[in-house]
């Protein structure tokens, strides 16, 4: 492997529950309960797509821009001090020092994730950051990973994708990438299938520090 593409939420950032809490509060203010099917529906969407979906699903009067602004206001502070998952920073520093090219592929928005990267001192380690809204299709398809690899000038076969969500791992694998599934509590229900699907399953980045099997 010559390059690595990392998802952020649940893969590098320890953001479990932040979006669920924001969604729960947003819907509660409108007398609507947060349901598992809603969470499942929006988890791979970028911010504007999720706003459009939410507006249509619940027949809200607010514009997508107003919905996004309300979400951003509720989570911006949390992301400004968001921690990384254990050993993630150490692993990224090791890869960077070894000359591995690094990119981000995320459904999030730069207004949210850039403060988190700066807070953790890893922003400068990445040569590229691709947001799902920049490509044609969402993370059910390999588009965002292919664009990240293109920006790194790396072929998919020479690039590892790190993800925590099953549909994203399947999409990256379909795109010809080596896939590393990273444990996250939010995907515990899919752990068995993630282990079967991904090329490698990680309970912690510490495993790759102790045994650098990818690079």
Question: 105 exposed, middle or buried (CB, 10 Å; 0-12, 13-18, 19+)?
Answer: buried
* Locus of tokens 């020479």: 158
Q: Do residues 113 and 106 make contact, with C-beta atoms less than 8 angstroms apart?
A: yes
Output the pLDDT for position 38: 94
Output the pLDDT for position 177: 98
Going by pLDDT thresholds of 50, 70 and 90, the confidence category of residue 69 is very high
Dihedral angle of Cα 47, 154, 152, 86, to the nearest 10 degrees: 70
Average pLDDT, the chain: 94
| 102 phi, psi to nearest 5 deg | -120, 140
| 214 phi, psi to nearest 5 deg | -95, -35
pLDDT in tens, 88-140: 999 999 999 999 999 999 999 898 999 999 999 999 999 999 999 999 999 99
pLDDT > 90? residue 44:
no
Q: Which of 12-16, 103-107, 190-194 has the lowest mean pLDDT?
A: 12-16
Global pTM value: 0.90
Output the pLDDT for position 107: 92
pLDDT > 80? residue 184:
yes
CA distances for 162 relative to 6, 75, 106, 123, 171, angstroms: 5, 24, 11, 17, 12
Output the pLDDT for position 6: 98
Angle at 185 between CA 190 and CA 144, to 5 degrees: 65
Q: In the predicted model, what is the mean pLDDT of residues 6-22? A: 91
What are the structural domains of the chain?
Answer: 3-15+82-210 (3.40.50.1000), 18-80 (1.10.150)
Output the pLDDT for position 1: 86
Going by pLDDT thresholds of 50, 70 and 90, the confidence category of residue 33 is very high
């Amino acid at each position: 492997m010559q390059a690595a593409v990392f998802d952020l939420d649940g893969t590098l950032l320890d953001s479990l529950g932040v979006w669920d809490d924001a969604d729960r509060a947003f819907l509660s203010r409108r007398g609507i309960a947060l349901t598992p099917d809603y969470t499942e529906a929006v988890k791979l969407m970028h911010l504007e797509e999720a706003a459009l979906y939410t507006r249509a699903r619940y027949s809200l009067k607010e514009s997508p821009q107003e919905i996004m602004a309300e979400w951003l206001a509720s989570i911006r502070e949390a992301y400004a001090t968001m921690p990384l998952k254990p050993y993630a920073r150490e692993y990224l520093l090791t890869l960077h020092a070894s000359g591995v090219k690094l990119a981000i592929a995320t459904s999030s928005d730069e207004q949210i994730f850039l403060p988190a990267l700066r807070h953790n001192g890893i922003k400068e380690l990445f040569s590229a950051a691709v947001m799902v809204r920049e490509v044609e299709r969402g993370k059910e398809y390999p588009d965002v990973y292919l664009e990240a690899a293109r920006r790194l000038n790396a072929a998919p076969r020479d690039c590892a994708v790190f993800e925590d969500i099953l549909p994203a791992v399947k999409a990256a694998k379909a795109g010809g990438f080596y896939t590393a599934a990273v444990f996250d509590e939010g995907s515990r229900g899919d752990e068995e299938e993630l282990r079967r699907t991904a090329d490698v399953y990680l309970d912690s980045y510490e495993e790759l520090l102790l045994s650098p099997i990818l690079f």
